[in-house]
Amino acid sequence: MKIVTKEESAALLERPFEERREEMRRVKEIVKNVQERGDEAVFEYEETFDKTVLNRENFCVSEEEYEEAYKNVSPALLESLRLAICNILVYHSRAGRKDHIVTENGRTTGYVVRPVEKAGIYVPGGTAPLSSSVLMAALPAKAAGVEHIIIATPAKEGKVHPLTLVAAKECGAEKVFKMGGAQAIAALAYGTESVPKVDVIAGPGNIYVTLAKKEVYGQVGIDMLAGPSEILIVADESANPDWVAADVLSQAEHDTLARALVVTTDRALAERISEQVEKRLAVLPRREIAEKSILASGGIILADDLDEAAEISNRIAPEHLELYVEEPEKLLPKIKNAGAVFLGAYTPEPVGDYFAGPDHILPTGGSARFFEVLSEDVFTRKMSVIRYTEEALKEDGEHIVRLAESESLMAHARAILARLEEEK
């Protein structure tokens, strides 16, 4: 990995916006086609992109396919999956928004929280089966109380990965449809003859999935517009360079566009980390992907002190931030922008990816400045609740009328006056 000073780090700190005009044109075409032609358009795109021949009989995963999937998942793996589900569901259930209503002096104000009726969950099926994405998108919806959870995932030559299907069943998904890409997002957003129209779409995906979510936003709610995965590790002299290198590669192996950065106050440590990255790369099964990622977007930035390291981190606003320092709790208050923060030597990023409970679907590309981690909040809505007694309206009515009249909205004013004058 290249080592640079703060002054030399501009290329690493910034991820320039790429205008994807051709991809957006293609996505608009796919979305419009699915909106107009429904199932038939989805079937055509699935045959083209995933070599899957579909009809209305095999479009939705059958009970027989679930049964076969369970046979192909070992008891040990199923146990690990169920423990992870328990952790994630408990976490999201305890963190949820609650109703809040206050009554004072005859005035009741507040909000009640209601789940959406239908949630569409997108699960990628590209370079690796991502059953963990099922858990991380479906379980917040389940914790929120969503009644109908619909999953879309690509089927390669008609087959969905067994662990993905087992995860969907264990998480309580109502249906799993064999569809991916922009066509899946369009089908969930507008509905087809087979696919129910949902209220919110959540889950990670490639550039076509992300652009399709952007295109249908407003027709449905979405979780966020996520891009390639990224990690930033702030390391001081207490850090084990081999462990840091392992954590760097845990993100770099995701995608050639993934970004893995380290910020450290110790040049000698930086050099040892760089050496260990090369050693680990040599034996990594996904070496080609990780190596391209490291060469294109990876690097180690030297900072004068941990305060400066925190400033650099806040500027990057990383998806995953590891504070691999001796006293991470002291540094945490200085962190303003990050998707998820991992504290200390024994909390590598995969702990959050799979098992701890907090979600791993996180804002990327600097969007942690304004987006937040996927949670049950995405699947709920606050509805305002207001109630006035007769006496309260008498006390406030004159002010309300005056404000309505100031906007020339006389019917508004008269709705209040009708009640006040009736009393007179």
Q: 306-360: per-residue pLDDT in tens?
A: 999 999 999 999 999 999 999 999 999 999 999 999 999 999 999 999 999 999 9
DSSP state string for 144-170 = HT-SEEEEEE--BTTB--HHHHHHHHH
pLDDT of residue 17: 58
List, by residue number, the catalytic residues.
319-320
Q: Give the Cα-Cα-Cα angle 168, 359, 147 (nearest 5 degrees).
A: 45
pLDDT in tens, 86-96: 999 999 999 77
Q: What is the pLDDT of residue 338?
A: 96
Long-range CB contacts (within 8 A, 24+) of 40-43? 41/183, 42/179, 42/183, 42/184, 42/187, 42/192, 42/195
pLDDT per residue over 183-238, tens digit each? Answer: 999 999 999 999 999 999 999 998 999 999 999 999 999 999 988 889 999 999 99
In tens, the pLDDT along 123-176 reads 998 656 788 999 999 999 999 999 999 999 999 888 999 999 999 999 999 999
Q: What is the mean pLDDT of residues 93-107?
A: 91
* Model confidence at 74: pLDDT above 80: yes
Q: What is the rounded radius of gyration, in angstroms, for the C-alpha atoms of the chain?
A: 25
53, amino acid identity: V
Q: Check residue 16 and give its pLDDT.
A: 60
Q: Is the pLDDT confidence value at 417 over 70?
A: yes
Compute the Cα dihedral for 129, 131, 136, 138 and give only its sign: positive
Mean pLDDT of the region 282-294: 94
3-class secondary structure, 182: helix
pLDDT given for residue 284 in this prediction: 95
* Closest by Cα among 226, 238, 243 to 279: 243
Residue 61 has pLDDT above 60, yes or no: yes
Q: Is the Cβ–Cβ distance between 273 and 244 less than 8 Å? A: yes
Q: What global pTM score does this model have?
A: 0.90
Domains of the chain, residue spans: 21-222, 228-370, 389-423
User: In a 3-state reduction of DSSP, which class is residue 246?
Assistant: helix
> pLDDT-based confidence at 390, cuts 50/70/90?
very high
Return the number of other C-beta atoms located less than 10 Å from residue 157's C-beta: 8
Q: What is the topology classification, in CATH, of domain 228-370? A: Rossmann fold (3.40.50)
Distance (Å, whole) CA 59 – CA 211: 24
21-222 and 228-370 agree in CATH topology: yes
Among 5-19, 114-128, 274-288, which range has the highest average pLDDT? 274-288
More confident residue, 167 or 1: 167
The stretch 53-68 carries a mean pLDDT of 96
For residue 217, give the DSSP letter: B
Asked if the model's pLDDT at residue 40 lies above 90, the reply is yes
Burial class (CB in 10 A: 0-12, 13-18, 19+), 103: exposed
8 A C-beta contact, residue 212 and residue 301: no
Handedness of CA 45, 169, 164, 364 (dihedral sign): positive
Q: Look at residue 20 and tell me whether its pLDDT is greater than 90.
A: no
CATH number attached to the domain at 21-222: 3.40.50.1980
What does the pLDDT average to over 361-368? 91
> Which ranges of 217-371 would DSSP assign to H, the alpha helix?
241-252, 267-282, 287-297, 306-316, 328-331, 349-354
Region 297-306 average pLDDT: 94
